Amino acid sequence: MDSQKKYPRTFSFEFFPPRTPEAQLSLRETINQLAQLKPKFLSVTFGAGGSTREGTYETVKQILALKQNAAPHISCMGTTRPEVRALLDAYRQLGIRHLVALRGDLPKNAPQTGDFRYASDLVAFIRDATGDEFIIDVAAYPEFHPEAPCPEADIRAFVTKVKAGANSAITQYFFNIDAYWRFVDECEAMRVDVPIVPGIMPITNFKQLARFSDTCGAEIPRWIRKRLEGYGNDLDSIRAFGLDVTTDLCDKLLDGGAPGLHFYTLNRAGPTCTVWERLGL
H or E element that contains 181: helix 177-189
Using CA atoms of 98, 141, 37, 2 in order, give the dihedral in degrees to the nearest 10.
-100
DSSP-based three-state secondary structure for 206: helix
Which is nearer to ligand FAD, 47 or 195 (by Cβ)?
A: 47
The residue count for the chain = 281
- What distance in Å separates the CA atoms of residue 145 and residue 149, rounded to the nearest whole number? 9
Active site residue 188: no
DSSP string of 88-126, one letter each residue: HHHHHHHT--EEEEE--PPPTTS---SS-SSHHHHHHHH
Residues lying near ligand FAD in the complex (CB under 6 A): 45-48, 73, 75, 100, 102-105, 118-120, 139, 145, 147-148, 153-154, 157, 160-161, 170, 172, 199
In the complex, the smallest distance separating the C-beta of residue 20 from ligand FAD, rounded to whole angstroms, is 19
Strand pairing category for 10-15 and 41-44? parallel
Which entry of 14, 22, 83, 133 is annotated as an active-site residue?
14
Give the nearest distance from C-beta 118 to ligand FAD in angstroms: 3
Residue 2 CB, nearest distance to ligand FAD (Å)?
A: 24
Based on CB atoms, which residue is closest to ligand FAD, 16 or 241? 16
Cβ 218 to ligand FAD, closest distance in Å? 9
CA–CA dist 121, 161 (Å, integer): 8
Q: Which is nearer to ligand FAD, 9 or 227 (CB)?
A: 9
How far CA 237 is from CA of 174, 229, 275, in Å, comes to 21, 11, 16
Q: Please, which residue, 3 or 45, has the CB nearer to ligand FAD?
A: 45
Positions annotated as catalytic residues are 14
